[in-house]
């Protein structure tokens, strides 16, 4: 059996999405900036895709800007906002994705921007009282807190964060890469200045994402050299990527509740089976919770195993794809920065299993059988 439990890193592209993209790879090769018929047809496809994304997120098409992915979108928002608005501080947490944390490091080194970290508890939950305290002391700030954590699955309440930031009249940005396409997001109901998405997290193609930029929040281009994306991002558009993104998001939105129900049943089965068959098993962060964590992510702490890389290697030998943390930091000797910030068990190996609509109960049973075999080696 081949089991892919690393969907928080990337998801397999859906056949319907690929079918939608192929005509634009084979025949739709016009440059969308060209004024002739072929160019106009391709430009129209991009704008239809933009309108589709905007409709799903309940915003204006003019607030959606296509990028190469979530990382570029995070950088585009944070760097240009801090630079152009003369922001003094960025308030974030130490368990954000590196797309935000490394961007903050850059801002600190390049613009002397103060980086303030809101407290999190032993489960990785953001301390809202501490956030309030930081905002009182740092009024000229941008707050950047992710919607769903890619490693431990913790979910922040965007409406709650929005209200806090609105009260203090500060700018709010959220890395929503793990929630777009998996949770309903109604931007009419949230006062937020920027969110991001990445198609390969919801069964779309890699190399394409978007930035939602609230109409009230104006920034300059991040990439220069062309008038594409309404003068916001120079460079010929990734046409078939954009078409694939909108198709994938549309399909994900249509079947969102069905997918959630199916995936959650797989996650719950894995939690129950692990508890029954592996004594002392723990779950990192809030990932055991159905309400406070992503239904796609389960971060497991397995006892009596210390060599994490060897454990993952043994899973791989048994055709099981899982992760020690974020794929974006694989190969790092320092381990997961997220797990280093929260309480984890000693002499346990920590593994992230992340699920999609294609996973099954049978796959969970196979994985647990192999975990027990590896433990007994």
How far is it, in rounded angstroms, from Cα 222 to Cα 225? 10
| Residue 64: Cβ within 10 Å count | 21
| Residue 69: Cβ within 10 Å count | 21
pLDDT band of 328, cuts 50, 70, 90: low
- List, for residues 123-144, the tens digit of each pLDDT value: 999 999 999 999 999 999 999 9
- List, for residues 93-133, the tens digit of each pLDDT value: 999 999 999 999 999 999 999 999 999 999 999 999 999 99
DSSP 99: H
As a whole number, the mean pLDDT across the chain is 95
pLDDT band of 31, cuts 50, 70, 90: very high
Is 67 in a helix, a strand, or coil? strand
pLDDT band of 324, cuts 50, 70, 90: confident
The top-level CATH class assigned to 3-11+256-375 is alpha beta
DSSP 23: H
Domain boundaries, the chain: 3-11+256-375, 15-254
- Give the mean model confidence (pLDDT) for residues 218-236: 94
pLDDT of residue 333: 47
pLDDT band of 306, cuts 50, 70, 90: confident
How far is it, in rounded angstroms, from Cα 100 to Cα 104? 6
Annotated active-site residue 328? The verdict is yes
- List, for residues 163-202, the tens digit of each pLDDT value: 999 999 999 999 999 999 999 999 999 999 999 999 999 9
CA nearest neighbour of 96 among 326, 294, 298, 282? 326
Q: How many residues does the chain have?
A: 377
- List, for residues 246-302, the tens digit of each pLDDT value: 999 999 999 999 999 999 999 999 999 999 999 999 999 999 999 999 999 999 999
Query: Which of the residue ranges 8-17, 276-285, 338-347 would you say has the lowest mean pLDDT?
Result: 338-347
Is 114 in a helix, a strand, or coil? strand
The top-level CATH class assigned to 15-254 is alpha beta
């Amino acid at each position: 059996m081949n089991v892919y439990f690393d969907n928080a890193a990337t998801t397999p592209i859906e056949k319907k999405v690929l079918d939608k993209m192929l005509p634009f790879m084979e025949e739709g090769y016009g440059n969308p900036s060209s004024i002739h018929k072929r160019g106009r047809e391709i430009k129209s496809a991009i704008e239809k895709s933009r309108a589709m994304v905007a409709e799903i997120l309940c915003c204006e098409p003019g607030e959606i800007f296509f990028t190469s992915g979530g990382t570029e979108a995070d950088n585009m928002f944070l760097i240009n906002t801090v630079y152009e608005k003369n922001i003094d501080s960025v308030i974030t947490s130490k368990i954000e994705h590196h797309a935000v944390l490394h961007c903050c490091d850059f801002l600190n080194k390049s613009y002397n921007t103060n980086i303030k970290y809101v407290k999190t508890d032993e489960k990785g939950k953001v301390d809202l009282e501490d956030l309030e305290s930081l905002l009182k002391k740092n009024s000229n700030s941008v707050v950047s807190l992710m919607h769903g954590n890619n490693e431990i699955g913790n979910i922040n309440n965007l409406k709650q964060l929005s209200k806090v930031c609105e009260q203090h009249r500060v700018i709010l940005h959220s890395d929503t890469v793990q929630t777009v396409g998996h949770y309903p997001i109604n931007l009419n109901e949230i006062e937020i200045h920027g969110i991001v998405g990445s198609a390969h997290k919801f069964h779309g193609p890699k190399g394409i994402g978007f930035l939602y930029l609230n109409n009230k929040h104006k920034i300059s281009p991040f990439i220069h050299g062309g008038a594409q994306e309404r003068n916001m991002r120079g460079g010929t558009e990734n046409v078939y990527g954009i078409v694939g993104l909108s198709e994938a998001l549309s399909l994900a939105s249509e079947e969102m509740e069905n997918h959630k129900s199916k995936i959650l049943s797989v996650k719950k089965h894995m939690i129950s089976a692990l508890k029954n068959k592996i004594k002392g098993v723990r779950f990192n962060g809030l990932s055991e919770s159905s309400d406070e964590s992503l239904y796609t992510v389960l971060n497991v702490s397995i006892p009596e195993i210390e060599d994490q890389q060897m454990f993952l290697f043994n899973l791989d030998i048994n055709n099981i794809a899982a992760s020690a943390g974020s794929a974006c930091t694989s190969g790092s000797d320092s381990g997961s920065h997220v797990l280093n910030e929260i309480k984890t068990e000693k002499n346990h190996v920590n593994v992230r299993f992340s699920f999609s609509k294609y996973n099954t109960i049978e796959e969970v049973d196979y994985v647990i059988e192999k975990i027990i075999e590896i433990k007994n080696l």
